[in-house]
Amino acid sequence: MKHLLIGTSIAAIFLAACHTARTQGEPTVVVVPPDEMSRDPAAAAPTAKVVPAAPSPTTAASPAAAPVKHSYNSCNVDGPYIAMTFDDGPHETNTPRLLDMLKQRGLKATFYVVGQCVVEYPDIMKRIAAEGHEIGNHSWSHPALNSVGAESLRKQMDSTTAAIVKSTGIRPATMRPPYGATSARLNKLFDEQYGMKVILWSVDPLDWKNRNSATVSSRIIQGAHPGAIILAHDIHATTVAAMPEVFDTLLAKGYKFVTVSELLAMDRPPQLVKKETPPAKPAPAAQ
Ligand code: ZN
């Protein structure tokens, strides 16, 4: 994989402390029409790409003229697939601890990283990528992107992508707007001009607010559903401490953990998805 150096100067302009407060609620703002997704244009930079697709059962024929889908709260899938997402890192200690938990269980997750933390912890970024997780753009300094100017928005996106590419050699294929603050116009822009689908969520344990591991794990476990995109924050020790319970319980219920791009690759029009998808079979003993 190549290590690209584009954008380091842009990144430098933004250099700021990583640990700023950026964990207020992330209210969902957008309603997403249930359409077929389109292929990612991912034009701009040369790079290695996030590998989509994997344990997908079938690839459905797409109905004619389905409008392009720019953003997702969840996916329609034929199986107990879910995507765990972790925002706002990487964090010096909590992210490596979480990576250990994922590795022990052979699970894949997606990390929506903040650019100013990426440049602070390049080695953690390398580890995230090396262990097969997906990395997405979560802006440089975590502003509400629907309230910044065009130039600022461009810098927030480009400097973060450049930092991710520099540390991992991989260009992000998806992004998550801080606080879920976006719009139909921005979703189209992120998809078409940045080559990134906009990823929101369908399960939110409010872990930024409730720093209680038992509460966080029970909310995620109760909210989980096939095709779920689950929001969490690996900057909080309480959230990371909740993960063994979350992972082991959901594995025991038969859920399979995939990256966001893998989940998107399985997305189908709702009418083509079988009804009886709740996971049934118990998984082999989780560790
Ligand atoms: Zn965030």
What CATH number did the domain enclosing 197 receive? 3.20.20.370
pLDDT in tens, 1-31: 344 444 444 433 344 457 544 444 444 333 3
Least confident residue range of 2-16, 214-228, 245-259: 2-16
- Banded model confidence at residue 65, pLDDT cuts 50, 70, 90: low
Confidence check: pLDDT of 138 > 70: yes
Please list the residues that pair with 85 across neighbouring strands. 110, 231
pLDDT-derived band of residue 212, with 50, 70 and 90 as boundaries? Answer: very high
| Cα 156 to ligand 1 centre (Å) | 13
Q: How far is the CA of 271 from the centre of ligand 1 (A)?
A: 33
Q: How confident is the model at residue 167 (pLDDT cuts 50, 70, 90)?
A: very high
What is the model's pLDDT at position 177? 98
Rounded distance, CA 138 to CA 212, Å? Answer: 24
41 band by pLDDT with thresholds 50, 70 and 90 = very low
Distance CA 279, CA 283 (A): 10
Question: Do the domain assignments include residue 162?
Answer: yes
The model's pTM is: 0.77
Pick the range with the lowest mean pLDDT from 56-65, 76-85, 116-125, 136-145.
56-65
Angle at 91 between CA 87 and CA 94, to 5 degrees: 95
Q: Is residue 89 part of a domain?
A: yes
Domain span at residue 97 reads 71-270
Residue 24 is assigned to a structural domain of this protein = no
Tens of pLDDT, residues 272-281: 777 655 565 5
Could you give the number of structural domains in the chain?
A: 1
Q: Please give the C-alpha separations between residue 114 and each of 101, 160, 199, 216, 238, in angstroms, as whole numbers.
A: 22, 7, 15, 22, 20
Tokens of 97: 């601890």
Determine which of 33-47, 50-64, 94-108 has the lowest per-residue pLDDT on average: 33-47
| Cα 25 to ligand 1 centre (Å) | 9
Instruction: Tell me if 109 sits within 8 A of 124, measured CB to CB.
Output: no
Question: Which tokens sit at 139?
Answer: 């802006």
Q: To 10 degrees, the CA torsion angle through 57, 62, 67, 70?
A: 20
For residue 253, report the distance from its CA to the centre of ligand 1, in Å.
28
Pull the structure tokens for residue 10: 């842009």
- Residue 197, domain member (yes or no): yes
- The reply to whether 30 falls in a domain is no
Secondary structure letter of residue 75 according to DSSP = -
Give the percent of the chain with pLDDT over 90. Answer: 70
Would you say residue 41 lies in a domain? no
Q: Does residue 177 have a cis bond before it (omega within 30 degrees)? A: no
Give, as one character, the DSSP assignment of residue 284: S
Residue with tokens 């209680």: 212
3-state helix/strand/coil string of 255-281: CEECCHHHHHHHCCCHHHCCCCCCCCC
Is 142 labeled as catalytic in the residue annotation? no
Q: Is residue 280 part of a domain?
A: no
Angle of helix 213-223 versus helix 237-252 axis, rounded to 10 = 40
**Residue 87 falls in the annotated catalytic set:** yes
| Distance in angstroms (rounded) separating the CA atoms of residues 151 and 165 | 21
State the amino acid at position 148 in one-letter form. Answer: V
* The pLDDT of residue 17: 52
* Distance (Å) from CA 113 to ligand 1 centroid: 8
* CA dist., res. 161 & res. 7, Å (int): 8
Question: Does a structural domain hold residue 170?
Answer: yes
Kindly name the residue from 87, 88, 234, 267 that is annotated as catalytic: 87
What pLDDT is attached to residue 14?
40
Q: Give me the phi and psi of 136, to 5 degrees please.
A: -125, 165
Average pLDDT over residues 238-261: 98
| Active-site pick, 70, 91, 133, 233 | 233
Q: What is the pLDDT of residues 190-202, one digit of tens each?
A: 999 999 999 999 9
pLDDT of 46 above 90: no
